[in-house]
Chains A and B, each alone.
Chain A
């Protein structure tokens, strides 16, 4: 079956630091990959997505590249801000399969 393995947290960084949150996946077929984010007190929301190999999803300064050869979709940001503190979930869907989430990575940015 489909599965997502995420970097365990929590992750604590100083403001303006470089961020990487690792995500690898196992899937049959050709999955679409997603990063969802949950800010404190809010619902999950889509951050970015990529639907085929070598695609790069980007939003709000975050990027992730769909790497089929390494089955990875790592989330990166060059300079994090306090407002980026949240829980980040990697997820995938393959065909009509349901969206499968990783366990989430809690990120805290210190001023």
Chain B
């Protein structure tokens, strides 16, 4: 069974530029998550989708971050404009039902903002 796919794995941009990350969850998983993991910290939930609807985006900085999940499958996370403090690994995860806490993570996309 294919795992969660993410791209790009690495991205370096300058502040005020924009960047987009893509995620393809495990087939059949209804719930998709984007987490931000800053060096030395645990992952922090940015947004949770159930199919193509948003369940929780309370910690998403909506002035610069946006995310969508079209057709309830793939998802993109965009940052525009980027700030230095956005340097982090962006993790995508999926789960069958969003209830059990059993998440399957991708390898992450490492963003460096200069």
Task: Enumerate chain A interface residues (CB-CB to B < 8 A).
Answer: 4, 6, 32, 34, 41-46, 49, 89, 91-93, 96, 98-99, 101-104
Collect the chain A residues with CB atoms within 8 Å of residue B4's CB. Answer: 43
A101 and B105 contact, CB distance less than 8 A: no
Within 8 A of A (CB), among B57-114: 91, 93, 98-108
- Pick the contact of A32: B91, B98, B101 (CB < 8 A): B101
Q: State the majority secondary structure of interface residues on A.
A: strand
B102 and A49 contact, CB distance less than 8 A: yes
Task: Enumerate chain B interface residues (CB-CB to A < 8 A).
Answer: 3-4, 40-45, 48, 56, 91, 93, 98-108
B42 and A43 contact, CB distance less than 8 A: no
Collect the chain A residues with CB atoms within 8 Å of residue B106's CB. Answer: 43
Give A83 Cβ to nearest chain B Cβ, in Å: 19
Distance, CA A77 to CA B77, complexed state (A): 38
CB within 8 Å for A96 and B99 given contacts A43-B3, A102-B42: yes
- Pick the contact of A43: B48, B98, B100, B105 (CB < 8 A): B105
